[in-house]
A and B are shown apart, each in its own frame.
Chain A
Amino acid sequence: MELAFYLSGLVAVLATVGVITGKNPVHAVVYLIVSLIAVALVFFALGAPFAGALEIIVYAGAIMVLFVFVVMMLNLGPDEDSAGWRHPRHWVGPSILAGILLAVLVTLLIRGDLVQVIEGDLLTARSVALTLFGPWLMVVELSGLLLLGALITASHVGRRSNPSRNRSGH
């Protein structure tokens, strides 16, 4: 169903615009989640369920939850009273977009035409795993080192207080 592809793509674009125009980090992250789910639905509509599922599990599931946690823990946004927080204009946008996605998904499921619409081999979990831990092993190992580097950077720069201040310390 081609319409599903274009609709989800449109939702992804609109939600991403919401991310970069939003002033409140939590609202931006909510839009980002919608955007990622929309991208996952694009994969489903193309007939690539594994890629779609990965998108949901990895991005919308794991990474975005971390984002939300960090944003909430840092409490970056300007303080708003609870009434302003619940104002409809904050949640109506993502809800409409998510509603469209739900409608697309339900339609796809009811019609039952989740078939492959583009050329190419359908990737399965098994073949992805075999590639990653076979010929691509070096890439996986280097990614591990990359994460180590990122972790060290974050832990060093994020140190709350040095044991003693710099000489230049202002």
Chain B
Amino acid sequence: MLTTADLVTVLPLIIVASTAVIVMLGVAWRRNHAVTALVSAAGLVLGLLALPLTFPATSSPPLMQVDGLAVMAGTLVLVSALVTVILSHHYLTGYIGPKEEFYLLLLCATAGALALVASDHLAMLFISLELLSMPLYGMLAYSFRAERSLEAGIKYLLLSAAATAFLLFGMALIYARTGYLDLAGVAGALVQAPDAWMLAGAALIVVGLGFKLSVVPFHLWTPDVYQGGPAPATIFLATVSKLAVFVVLLRLVLAAPFFSSEWLQTLITVLALLTMLGGNLLALFQANLKRLLGYSSIAHFGYLLVAIVVGNALATETTGVYLITYLVTTLAAFGVVTLVSSPFGGEDADGLPVYRGLFWRRPYLAAVMTVSFLSLAGIPLTAGFIGKFYVIALGVADSRWWLVGGVVAGSAIGLYYYLRVMVTLYLPEPGMRRRDVTNDWGSRIGGLTLMALAVVILVLGIYPAPMIDWVQGLSGLTN
């Protein structure tokens, strides 16, 4: 049964869910874009403030495990959602039609992500994964009058449903063999070597989650959905959704020993290699910035899969550090795209030519973009370097030479297209210009957020000790 102590441990989740209900009632009463955005942001901030109360947790509610990993991932989820809300406000002011539902969907999905990272039971995992994905369909198809947005929503809906079927079938196989749905039970039920059914179940779960992480060969939806969805929805998809799914995959690997069987490790190693190289190669000649960032996020999760293959205590720490660096970097990069596309007017500004000569028009915005792309490429003195360093160190410590080679090769390829985008920013401005940010972007809160993110990228790259301490402290408390 749920006790009061249990309720305190899920307080952020309760706050976010109640904010969603409040926003819904507010919309039903009177529509007001600014107030809705403000209430959503306030709810997320409150959730963030309530996180320290939940820890150290003496008990966890049934089906959930509020440990260090969950608190760490919860913090990242709430911060990313907050940045998304801030950027959405500016973006949606140009949307003609109801704007408030976007925040409602975003809050629902955030609640799902919070539950997902703490789930300790396959049923909980399934429901919260669906709660994360279902509002995302609506967010991606939000500007459904624009053809691409609707296409993105439908594509994500159909393929995500197929992936869910794989996931469910995998769970059913595992349940049929062990008779348990909670992770501890599943892990404890089979002490001896797992048989073919268990492995098939685990592999199907990896496939289902791999789809959400857009691991090659389950990545085919990614570029179209990233390109078609409204920019804030794409940010949410690239950060919160991927992060939460990755954390739950890590939790499965850490909890259930059959996930670290030789056969499955080989499978994930192959997937990781394919993902690193595939993502980078596909991005190589991409002229659309949103598609390019989509491929880049594929490659980044390929690097991060090294942590899943290794699956020890250091892997948790690596995941934490890498996710933080990936998150600030991706938020900044997509944030610039969002800001340039704001306020909404049909399609987003995502072609590289739009960004040609951005430096000469908007030097600060171009600086944010440059810093984030340097960080994506993993150049020293940026946050991305620290993350990549951790991944390579993890691979070397565990003697996974193939993976280390893949990370190195992928980074080398990646450098080419990241630099290509950066060069475009500084090229002299052509005669005509089509899209531009509004003039006072720096004074707007979205612009300030982006500046702050760029500063965070640099600070984390130069002085990462506090972040590493924080992650170490929390991952030490993961069971």
Residues of A participating in the B interface, judged by any CB pair closer than 8 Å: 120, 134-139, 141-143, 145-146, 148-150, 152-153, 155-157, 159, 162-170
**Interface assignment of B221: CB less than 8 Å from any CB of chain A:** no
Closest to B1 in A: A134
Can you name 7 extra interface pairs (CB under 8 A) apart from A138-B61, A156-B144, A157-B138? A136-B63, A137-B2, A138-B2, A138-B10, A142-B112, A157-B150, A168-B146
Interface residues of B in 109-138 (CB under 8 A from A): 109, 111-112, 115, 123-124, 127-128, 130-131, 134-135, 137-138
Give chain A nearest CB distance to B40 CB in angstroms.
14
**Interface assignment of B345: CB less than 8 Å from any CB of chain A:** yes
| A162-B96, A164-B96, A166-B145 as given contacts; A136 in contact with B123, CB under 8 Å | yes
Chain B residue contacts of A167, Cβ below 8 A: 94, 96, 345-346
Interface residues of B in 164-188 (CB under 8 A from A): 179
Q: Are B127 and A139 in contact (CB under 8 A)?
A: yes
**Interface assignment of B347: CB less than 8 Å from any CB of chain A:** yes
Q: Are A149 and B134 in contact (CB under 8 A)?
A: yes
Closest to B98 in A: A156
Chain A residue contacts of B97, Cβ below 8 A: 159, 162-164, 166
| A136-B123, A139-B63 as given contacts; A153 in contact with B138, CB under 8 Å | yes
Q: Are A136 and B62 in contact (CB under 8 A)?
A: yes
Q: Are A152 and B143 in contact (CB under 8 A)?
A: no
Closest to B94 in A: A167
Closest to A158 in B: B144
**Interface assignment of B152: CB less than 8 Å from any CB of chain A:** no
**Interface assignment of B367: CB less than 8 Å from any CB of chain A:** no
Stretch at the interface among B100-108, B265-273, B290-298, B354-362: B100-108
Q: Which residue of A120, A135, A145, A163 contacts B63 across the interface (Cβ within 8 Å)?
A: A135
Show 6 A/B contacts (Cβ-Cβ < 8 Å), sorted by A: A142-B124, A143-B131, A157-B141, A165-B96, A166-B97, A170-B147
Q: Are A138 and B135 in contact (CB under 8 A)?
A: no
Q: Are B127 and A168 in contact (CB under 8 A)?
A: no
Chain A residue contacts of B131, Cβ below 8 A: 142-143, 145-146, 149
Closest 6 pairs (CB-CB, A-B) = A168-B346, A153-B138, A135-B62, A149-B135, A149-B108, A162-B97
**Interface assignment of B198: CB less than 8 Å from any CB of chain A:** no
Chain A residue contacts of B347, Cβ below 8 A: 168
Q: Which residue of A120, A134, A142, A155 contacts B127 across the interface (Cβ within 8 Å)?
A: A142
Q: Are A149 and B96 in contact (CB under 8 A)?
A: no
Chain B residue contacts of A146, Cβ below 8 A: 108, 112, 127, 130-131, 134
Q: How far is the CA of A146 from the CA of B17 in the complex (A)?
A: 11
| A157-B153, A165-B145, A166-B145 as given contacts; A149 in contact with B138, CB under 8 Å | yes
Interface residue tally on B, bucketed by range = 35 or more
Give chain A nearest CB distance to B124 CB in angstroms.
6
Q: Are A149 and B109 in contact (CB under 8 A)?
A: yes
**Interface assignment of B334: CB less than 8 Å from any CB of chain A:** no
Chain B 60-94 per-residue mask, 1 if CB under 8 angstroms from chain A, else 0:
01111000000000000000000000000000001
Q: How far is the CA of A143 from the CA of B134 in the complex (A)?
A: 11
Q: Are A145 and B96 in contact (CB under 8 A)?
A: no
**Interface assignment of B20: CB less than 8 Å from any CB of chain A:** yes
Q: Which residue of A134, A137, A138, A155 contacts B115 across the interface (Cβ within 8 Å)?
A: A138
Q: How far is the CA of A37 from the CA of B137 in the complex (A)?
A: 31
Q: How far is the CA of A168 from the CA of B135 in the complex (A)?
A: 24
**Interface assignment of B390: CB less than 8 Å from any CB of chain A:** no
| A166-B346, A168-B347 as given contacts; A142 in contact with B111, CB under 8 Å | yes
Q: How far is the CA of A44 from the CA of B131 in the complex (A)?
A: 32
Q: How far is the CA of A134 from the CA of B179 in the complex (A)?
A: 20
**Interface assignment of B24: CB less than 8 Å from any CB of chain A:** yes
Closest to A146 in B: B131
Q: Are A169 and B130 in contact (CB under 8 A)?
A: no
Give chain B nearest CB distance to A163 CB in angstroms.
6
| A135-B63, A139-B124, A168-B345 as given contacts; A162 in contact with B153, CB under 8 Å | no
Q: Are B138 and A152 in contact (CB under 8 A)?
A: yes
**Interface assignment of B142: CB less than 8 Å from any CB of chain A:** yes
Chain A residue contacts of B104, Cβ below 8 A: 152
Q: Are A148 and B108 in contact (CB under 8 A)?
A: yes
Closest to B121 in A: A139
Q: Are A153 and B96 in contact (CB under 8 A)?
A: no
Give chain B nearest CB distance to A119 CB in angstroms.
10
Chain A residue contacts of B20, Cβ below 8 A: 145, 148
